[in-house]
Chain A
Amino acid sequence: MILKKPNWHTEHLLRAMLLLGFSIMLVNFLASGSIQTYISPQMVPFSCIAVGVLLILCVFQLLRSAPSSSNNRTSCECGCHHTENRTFRNSWVLASVFLIPLLTGTCFPPQILDNTLVPKRGIDTQLAQTDLGLQPFAQQLHNQNKLIVHDALYVKTLQAIEMFPELFNGTPIQISGFVYRDTTMSKSSFVLSRFHITCCTADATIVGIWVDANTPVQINDSGWVQVEGKLVTQSNNGSTTATIQLTDAKSIAQPATPYVY
């Protein structure tokens, strides 16, 4: 009689390792703050929950893979035959699929979405959203002497300007974002834009406002500027839009939170 050495259950062990890997990756992203490159802050609490669940599942998978475990479920007395080959192949498929995000998340630096993606997305200078709460907000903005657009209210402010352009005609404005220019635009105008993210980078839309300058503007490589100017209304084809008449543009570094949410 040959006594077989009890074996660890490789399939479950592998799963435990993958679960551990994902939780380590998530903890690293959360700790370094680079999680915000991938998903919106609103979704971060869910990621924290995910870390907990992953670790719990990992512990149970380790228990399951232990040699003496009663939960070792591949040998049973049900009479069906398990081909080791099949389990082996499945594990390989599983491992290679889940190793892709683990590897790229580890070895690839997070890349902030930037103006190279704009031509792929199409820019959104017409937000065209009539929000019911927008009118009092626009009034409130109108009462300020100078419109300083904060990141937290970026989308809402641009919506207010777009909905009620006449209200803001002549209002001084200070706003920051990245510069986007395509071949059809003249050297002295550009679209000042930000990526707007709802859940994750896949649903990023670009919001922006037209900026006109009298002279060509020099912008450094980062493409980020803070613009000072005056809102002016222009009407073409019966619709009125607001654009910024540039008075001053200064290059700034890419902000810590480049997206607006």
Chain B
Amino acid sequence: MIRLDVLALQPVWAVIFLIKSIQIIKSLSTDFMMLLFFYVFVAMVFQNHEIAGLVAEVPNIKFLLLTNTIFLGIVLEALPFLLIGALVTGVVQLVIKPGWIQKILPKNQFSAILTAVLVSFILPVCECTSIPFITRLLRKGLPQHLGVLFIMAAPIVNPITLVSTYFAFRSHMIIFYGRIVFAITIAVIISILTKYGMKDSSILLEKEEEIHREHLRQSIQPASTLVSSWFTKLQSIMNHATDDFFEAGKYVVVGALFAAFYQTGFNQNLVKSVTTNHAGSTLAMMALSFLMSLCSQADGFVASSFIGKFPTESLLAFLVFGPVLDLKTTWMLIGAFKKKFVLTFVALFFSFTFVLCMLFQYLMH
């Protein structure tokens, strides 16, 4: 009954998708038929208020609907930035030749790190864009320790986040400066540790398809440089962008799902009121920033609502820990890097954030 209504309501969509699906199914392997039928069904019921109305009438569904609103909020919020990041990554893939990065980087280790710090101030990448982007740069020959530095510094000191942090803490400039100083300090320390700790072993996950893709790229390189038509180049950029979008996107979706359930299912005051001492509140705020999985542009405003209720160092912990490690980004890191590296990275980043915040508290009082 409902299905018939749906078809009647959306005749244009129904026709387009039926024709399309018949065409496609003809040439498809049977394995995918079911999935595509499923999808066609979804597309037909799009914006169907009847289905939405039926769902709304299910008893006790409000909790799920609220969770869904927050889940979609995070996904829709991240989507444009994921796409922009993927496009930039696609361009990087094509434009930057292997070896070029090593050529332009200063030979001196100190100036190389300084350059990386300065670059992270101007890169307009937030946490969703930065991980796929940096993974691509690493494959293009960016030294590992500098990549690690970007992963920690870029989400916090990028221009967009800086502006929003400034507006959120105009009256508490110490938090604004503290956030920058802490992020850079931790990034530089862990970067140096990575350089000497990892030596020559790669931190990247060697993926079958990734190796294949690189292999392929090299094998078709002569041909593509011969043809060199702008359309081929554009296709290459778009294809890489799509690959990266889906690669990074699936972690964002899963992370957003967990974060949404946390936000509606658990009392956030519980985490905050767990303890009243400085170390406890700092740990609680780090846990909160991990679980809430906020965008680094927005977390300043959330943190500013905690001013006066929580000590300054715990707010700094919230602002430094969350952008680099939360439910989304940890998933993304696991998807791109070796597990051993991710574990070490999480442990180090956690300890340094905590120690620095405690040090700050000690120095201030």
Contact = CB atoms under 8 A, between A and B. Distances in A.
Interface in B264-285: 264, 266-269, 272
A127 B305 contact: yes
A33 interface: no
Interface string B216-243: 1001100000000000001100110110
A7 B29 contact: yes
Given A7-B27, A46-B81, A201 B171 contact: no
A98 B42 contact: no
B72 A111 contact: no
Contact of A202 (B64, B249, B292): B292
A199 B295 contact: yes
Given A47-B80, A82-B212, A21 B250 contact: no
A93 interface: yes
Nearest to A199: B298
A203 B298 contact: yes
B352 to A, nearest CB: 25
Contacts of A126: 308-309
Interface string A121-133: 1101011111110
Contacts of A61: 238-239, 242
Contacts of B81: 46
Contacts of B77: 38-39, 43, 199-200, 202
Most buried by B among A19, A88, A120: A120
Interface in A98-156: 98-113, 116-117, 119-122, 124, 126-132
* Range for the number of chain B residues in contact with chain A: 35 or more
A129 B55 CA distance: 41
B65 interface: yes
Interface stretch (B32-40, B142-150, B180-188): B32-40
Contact of B72 (A28, A38, A116): A38
B346 interface: no
Interface in B27-67: 27-29, 31-32, 35-36, 38-39, 42-43, 45-49, 51-53, 55-56, 62, 64-66
A117 B172 CA distance: 29
Given A97-B250, A100-B257, A203 B301 contact: yes
A76 interface: yes
